[in-house]
Structure formats: structure tokens, C-alpha cells
Structure 1
Amino acid sequence: MASAPLDFYYDFSSPYSYLAAARIAALAEGADVRIAWKPFLLGPIFAAKGHATSPLVSDPDKNVHMWADVTRLAELYHLPPLRRPDPFPVNSLLAARVALHLNDACRPAFTRAVYRAEFAEGRDIADRETIYHLLAGLGHFFEEVIDEAERQENKDRLRAQTEAARAEGVFGAPTFIAADGALFWGNDRLEMALDHARRLARAA
């Protein structure tokens, strides 16, 4: 039986996507699920709904709860102590372009490195130097990768991936979409999404 497919839509400004990205590879391997890592931008989706920023940020009570919740979960998952980016939300455009440009084999490691730099090390992922160092640390020719990631063709690919996410009903991150179109939103739905994908494959 072939591995079950599951799309993983994530935005680099999303702390809950950070938690999911840190957990998904091991869980997916155990469930025999094949993950498609799909970086996208939440900003245009929020804007289309009339939000100037994330609803979790615009509501002070939700914002306070979110950071307390993510801090507790990072500890529960044995991740490094959480460091809140400043400013937040971060400008995730360059990181998303680079992640999308990288091939499927390289994208997960880069994604985890970006999240770790942002939420565990307090580094500015909007800074090209940060992205340079992350790529170099993974063995990539960083200047070439960034130049190619910022070509118009790749910019258009990111817009198209963001629009594809919106068309599939994505409204937040992380979001997991199974082969039958079932949508699971949030880090706390990761296990449920993997189980659903696995059951679909077994029934096929």
C-alpha cells in the first residue's frame, strides 16, 4: 500500500505552525503518511476577509492566551524555550519564497531551521542575512538560492500557492488537507489529520 498523502499548509509567522512543523515528520513516518510541505501567506487571506492582521493579534485577550498556550505546548513537546518575535507578526515573505523554491527533499529541513531561528533563537527571518546563514548551515549555495527564489516566476508560484490554499478553504495555519478534501485546522488537529489520511489510503 502506498503512503497516504497529506498537504501541510503553513505560514512562517504562525507560532502554531512552528509547533506542527517540529512534530509532523516523526508522526507522519509512524503513520505511513506522505507530507507535502506547502508554505503560503496568511496575509492575503486575512485581507480578503477584511482583517488588517491576524485575529489572534488584533484581539488582546486572544493574543495573551495564544502566547501562553504556545509557550506551554513548546515545553510539553520538549522544544527550546519559546522566544516571542518582535515585531509580530513577522514579515515572512522571503522565507516563504525560499522554502517554496527549494525542492521537496530540502524544504522540510529549511522550514524547521527558519522556525527554530524565529521562535527559539529570536532571530529576524525577514533579514536576508538570517536566511543566508540558515541556507549555508544546510549546505546550500545561499546567494544562488535566494536570487532564484526572488525571481518573478517563483513570486508568482507563491501567489498561486496562497490562492490555492484559499480556494481549498484554508483560513488559518497550520492547515492539513487530506486526499478527499477534508480540512483539519490547527496544531492540535495534526494527529487527527494523519489518522484520517491513513484510513483513506487503507480504504482505497
Structure 2
Amino acid sequence: MSLPGPGVPFPRESDAQAPRTPASGSATSAAPSTLTAAPAPVPGQRPAPPRPAPPGAERPGPKPRPAGIPKPGPRRPEPAAPQIAVQHLAATAAQAVERADEAVDRLLDSGRNPGAVLVLTVGEPHPWQRHELSFGEERYWAQLAEGGDVFYADAALTRPARREVVVLVVNGGTADRAAAAFAEARGRAAELLVVCGNAGPAAEAAGAPAGRPATV
């Protein structure tokens, strides 16, 4: 160890060089600062999907009834079919045509329109039917369509014919044919059926007592 020269103070222990500390703010010695990235903004919460409605909550109700259509109510009973008056004129098979002609005359005299009367025979054709057929069938059936006069035909008529008054002439044929003719004639009459002769028990039970004159 060498001694300091004259005039040089003896070094003190406190004069030992302290480690040099870099000055604050020095660009060369300052440690690079660590940059912390700012946290990304947290987006708002997404709206939750709508909760489904409980079963039956959104069930559609009954549709409104259109205006002007009444609500269904109890059905009204069908109007009863008009009752057909049935009258009987007692006569044998040989007398039936004559009694029928008398009935037609009374109907016309009372003001009944000739085109409203239909005469049907169970047995032989009426003489007036034979007379009209002598001019040909075309002319004969045209009279039925025209409806301007009394029309005479067989009780087994297959063409549509319906008139206010039907006169049934039971001038022959079997009992079964007479009964069937009565049912057919009744369906063709709109107001009155006059039966001349015996058309069977069903005809007797359907109308007035035998022998009562035909009326309007």
C-alpha cells in the first residue's frame, strides 16, 4: 500500500466510489417500458332469443263469422205436401166411361180450364183418345205439351203429365192394374182425383165414400 503524497487527503472509507446510478429520464440507460395493450371493449350482451310460448297460449281462436250469414239454428220442418182430394163415382166397368164424361162436363161447367183436366183409362182407350190418334201420334202428343184441352190417355202413360184434376176411368183390366193405375193417377193430380169405378181397397180408403159426385 502506498501512502498518498503530501497535500492529498487520506481517502475515507465513505469516499469509496459508489456505483453510478443512471439518472432518471435518461434515454440511453432507461429500460424500455413495457406497453400494456388496452383491453378490448367488451360488447354488450346479445339479446336472448324469445322464449317460446307455452303450448296452447297462441292457439288461434274461432274465426269471426262473416256478416250477413245467420248462425245455424234448429232446422225448420219441411212443409207437408198438399193433400190431394180423392172422390169416387160408383160405376161398373161398362158404366165407367159414361160416368167419367159426366164428371168432366161438371168440371168444365163449374169453370175449370179444359187444359187442367187429364182423363186416364184402365181398360179400353176412351173414344176421344181414339179420335185424336186418328190424326197421327205426333199431333196427339203435341196436344199434351200444349195443354189447351182435356187430354185422354192410357193409365199406363209413361210421359210426364201433371194436371190440376185427373179422372181415372176403371173400365176394365185386372184388380192389380186398377190399383197401380190409381197410385199413378194420384201422383199426377195436383188438386183433385176423381175415380170412376172400382180401383181397389186402397182407392176406397183414400177418398170420399163411393157414389159422391165430383166437385171442384
Say yes or no: TM over 0.5. no
Q: Which gives a bigger RCO, structure 1 or 2 (Cα 8 Å, sep 6+)? A: 1
Question: Of Structure 1 and Structure 2, which has the larger fraction of its residues in helix?
Answer: 1
Normalised by the length of structure 1, the TM-score is 0.24
